Homo-oligomer: A and B are copies of this chain.
């Protein structure tokens, strides 16, 4: 009974903040961001020792809005609300949780739709390429503003997990634990291929205008829609799709037309339509590039063990058996490199049917593992 009450907890109504950074930021590409803003949210209270902060990094289409709801908007539940809250695996009664929208995003942080101070017009296609390393640098500056010297943990799934891993390399002394969920140490050629097709769908949309579509009063919705549909195929397992949609025909029998025949078609079209309404295409392009470029081993001749040698954190690595985008073998590569460096690492391979999206689900074994790991963190 107590547990049921615990897991039902919500951080309730939340209000995002915006942090302003006037010190220019040199990006990995060489480009200079003269100034920028980051949208963020926090849940729970920073303790007196400032030792209980946890950073949650987002993946492709999420944001700083990790948990809770916005006032007057019951549909605005945070993207990881099932994991973050009072009594939840990442317990906001114990931890001070920070969510941040990454640079280049489209949920409040400075991004391609923001005004470029050099021109007075939206950055559009001129917004620089951003990388996981750049995001971690930004997140560290946000931590400085919030008075957080060191995170008890940095947590992320998928691209968020790459940021958690990068934290242990960029700022080894500023992170106690990294929770690296549904990750890969770098994209495979196939992963890059899916990203590239999505980008080509967007950039060849006649409404793209080299990324300066804001000035034309249009949005490359067709391309963004196709990009999202491609993404969804890679987020779900073959089995999960079979289970959820199978070959169910909407009309019960084939109609031999090009409208929706199978339920899976309806699902994909709906997901594509929805996404194209709210997400910025220039942000999508840049986030997929950040995925492509992430490769900590590249500077070490491909040797992941050498790349992770500078890490000091302890790790929880979690993978999901049905994830074919970032399969368990990719997580095991990370685990082996961490073990080779004699770092503390726990590894959980969850037998879950949902594919890559499993990291967003509330599978009890997965959440139980995250809960137990976080409960074991000593806040000093």
Which residues of chain A have a CB within 8 Å of any CB of chain B?
28-31, 128-129, 131, 186-190, 192-194, 196-197, 199-201, 203-206, 222, 225-226, 229-230, 232-233, 236, 238, 241-242, 244-247, 254, 256-258, 261-262, 264-265, 268-269, 272, 285, 289, 292-293, 295, 298, 324
Contact = CB atoms under 8 A, between A and B. Distances in A.
A209 to B, nearest CB: 14
Within the oligomer, what is the number of copies of this chain? 2
A11 to B, nearest CB: 35
A189 B256 contact: no
B196 A247 contact: no
Given A189-B245, A247-B295, A324-B324, 12 more contacts: A129-B257, A131-B256, A187-B247, A189-B241, A189-B246, A190-B238, A193-B232, A193-B241, A193-B265, A197-B268, A204-B225, A230-B230
A232 B190 CA distance: 10
Contact of A247 (B29, B186, B201, B245): B186
A261 B292 contact: yes
A233 B199 contact: no
A206 B208 CA distance: 13
Contacts of A230: 197, 230
A226 B238 contact: no
A200 B269 contact: yes
